[in-house]
Structure formats: structure tokens, C-alpha cells
A and B are shown apart, each in its own frame.
Chain A
């Protein structure tokens, strides 16, 4: 008896997950469909770029700096074993532009901006603000969700680029200033090895895709949140977890696609 119950529950969960996935996809297309407001009222989008992007700058810059420091240090220890310390600049730059920049930024973004988006929308839902908008004949999707979506998509690549830049500088500080590697070798090996198309551009493409994924998940969880304190708390947790897993999964896919020679 309990076996059939278990299977029934499993089937039910699977069905619920599929329905959720379908709803998620429909939500995405709804956002795209109603995105014309970006051109009619660009101020809404730029306000969101400010709230999402500028408010994340501090954590991104500080994290980037420290990641750069660590890369410089760890990279030096490893390269030193093979007598290739001069390639430190190349190591730091490639690690950051290809992987660490987009990925770590996306994870931090999910935690900082993603949760604040989810919580904000969940609370708006709880306070009947979205219903009030609907009754005032204002489409909440257009007015609230679309600007936040594009704000996130625009902010993410900028944040990732800043992270990479700050990280490279951090690696330079540790490698050249503290350890004493030749600064010329640091930059020239980097410039010879980092390809604008293969490395920098691919990193930017990754960060754009991560931006879409994380912002979409954050907005979806807010949209679906139960309008109670526990509901909002659960939704923000789901944003971080689902968003982070999505970033890591997408990163694997994209890396395989982009960097397999």
C-alpha cells in the first residue's frame, strides 16, 4: 500500500515540476512579449539598472579584488613549481575572463540582487500592490516585471566585466607588487594569450546568459511566492538555490560549447 503511495507521490511531484517548468517558460515569453515598454518608458529600466547594478557594485568589486589576490597567490605557487611564474598574468586573466568573472559574479548576483528582487515582488504581492495595479488597469507584468528583467540582463555583463578587471588588477598587485614578478612579462604574456573573441567575448556572452537566467528565476519566484512571510522567505531561498544551480549547470554547457577545440 505504501509503495503505491510512494509512486503516486513521485508521479505527482514529477507532474508538478513539469507544470512549474511550463509555467516558467510561459512567464519568460510573457516578459519578452510585453517588453515594448523598454522603448516607451526607458526610465523605468534605467531605474532598475541603478537599483540592481549600482547597489551590487561594492560587493562585486571587493570580491573581485580578493579573488584576484588569491589567484595571484595560488597561481604563483603552482607555476613556480614548473618555473613558469612569468605566465601568472596569463593564468589570472584567462581564469577570470573565461570562468571566474561570469560565474562568481552570477552567484553573487543571485544572492544579492536576486533575493532582493524576489523579496520585493513577494512583498508587493503580499501588500496587494500588484492587485491594486491590475485593478487600476495597469499591467503589473509590464510595469513591474519587464523593467526589472531588462535591468538585470543589462547589469550582469557590466558587473562581470568589472569583476574580471578588478581581479586582474588584484592579481597584478599580488604578483608584481608583492611577489616581484616582472610587470612586463605579466602583461605581455597575458596579451599574447588572451584572445578577445575566444576569451573575453565568450565570457561576456556567458554573463549575459547568466543574467537572463538568474533574473528570470528571481522574478518568477517572486511572482509565484505565497503572500505570507514564510512564503516570501521560501521564495528567496529558492531564488538563491535554483539560480546558483542554474548558473553552474549553464556554465558547464557553455564551456563545453565554447571552449572545446
Chain B
């Protein structure tokens, strides 16, 4: 086969590969939801981040405004420190709150931002003061069992409820 023909076929082959890769990245994957807009960093501390992962979305009113950049542990307060990158054109008041929510019932976890009422906005490097940790299913259940056991115990007075068999919280 002549050299030009071979080159043409090889070019076609590589092009096909590029198309396939772009298809996978854009149509199948989440690359299209990556914005290349400039971002600024904010941080927040949580008692428990649950199953939050890096690159999880940060949403406000359901709209993606940024992504989780990094997660680490503060060794003094033993709280989780989460840094998020927010798109520069979204500004939030200083008293906004960050909650770790779950999409759907058993879906991926993300950070939900609720705007506060302050006039001043958070700037790059700022910290979200008000946070709510992830809901851990086990503590929810044990809470429910404890409270229901308590309710059972109070009318009898002395007869205290059997020691709340709160399942050992696996932290």
C-alpha cells in the first residue's frame, strides 16, 4: 500500500479513537459539567462528612456552583476540613450555611449551600461558619430507638427503660 494511503488510514484510526474518547468523556462521563470558569476557595468544618468525596458537587438551590476540592482532618478539633472551589460569579453572604446532603435516598453525597442574609459576601479563603454534618444512618436509628425507649419508660416512673441498646457507632 502506498505511503499516503497508509497515512490516511492511520489518521482515520486515530481520529476514531479521539472521537471515542471524547464521547466517553463528554457524553458518558461528567466532563461537560466541568466548567473551566475561574473559581475561588472556601472552607468549612464538619463533625462528620459521611460519604462525601472529592469532586462532589456543591449546589445551591439545586444548581451546581462548585466542587469539593479537598478533604482533611483538623488534628486539634478533630473536625473534618472541607475546601470547596466556587465559581467566581457566585457570591454568598458571610452567614451562609453548608449542609451535607444525599441525592436521592441512597445516592451520592454533595454539599448544599443555603444563602444567609448578611450584606457582606464571603471572599476567597473565607470559611463557612454554619455547617451541618452528614446524616449517618446508624446514629439516626439509634436516636430513634433511644427516644422511643425513653417514651416507653417515663409513664412507669422508676422503672427506667432498659439500657438503650444504642448500637456502637462505627465512626
Q: A residues within 8 Å of B by Cβ?
A: 43, 46-47, 49-50, 53-54, 57, 93, 97, 155, 157-159, 161-162, 164-165, 168, 187, 190-197, 199-200, 203-204
Interface SS, A side: helix
Q: Are A162 and B16 in contact (CB under 8 A)?
A: yes
- Per the bound structure, the CA–CA distance linking A86 and B98 in Å amounts to 30
- Per the bound structure, the CA–CA distance linking A159 and B108 in Å amounts to 32
In the complex, the 3 A-B pairs of residues with the closest C-beta atoms, listed nearest first? A158-B17, A161-B20, A165-B20
Q: Which residues of A contact B23 (CB under 8 A)?
A: 165, 168
B16 vs chain A, min Cβ distance (A): 6
The answer to whether B165 has its CB under 8 Å from any CB of chain A is no
Q: Are B6 and A50 in contact (CB under 8 A)?
A: yes
* B11-34 interface bits toward A, Cβ cutoff 8 Å, 1 = contact, 0 = none: 011101101110111011111111
Q: Which residues of A contact B30 (CB under 8 A)?
A: 191-192, 194-196
Residue of A43, A54, A161, A193 with most partner-chain B CB within 10 A: A161
Q: Are B6 and A199 in contact (CB under 8 A)?
A: no
Q: Are B13 and A49 in contact (CB under 8 A)?
A: yes
B25 vs chain A, min Cβ distance (A): 5
The answer to whether B55 has its CB under 8 Å from any CB of chain A is yes
Q: Which residues of A contact B10 (CB under 8 A)?
A: 46-47, 49-50, 53-54
- Per the bound structure, the CA–CA distance linking A157 and B24 in Å amounts to 13
The answer to whether B9 has its CB under 8 Å from any CB of chain A is yes
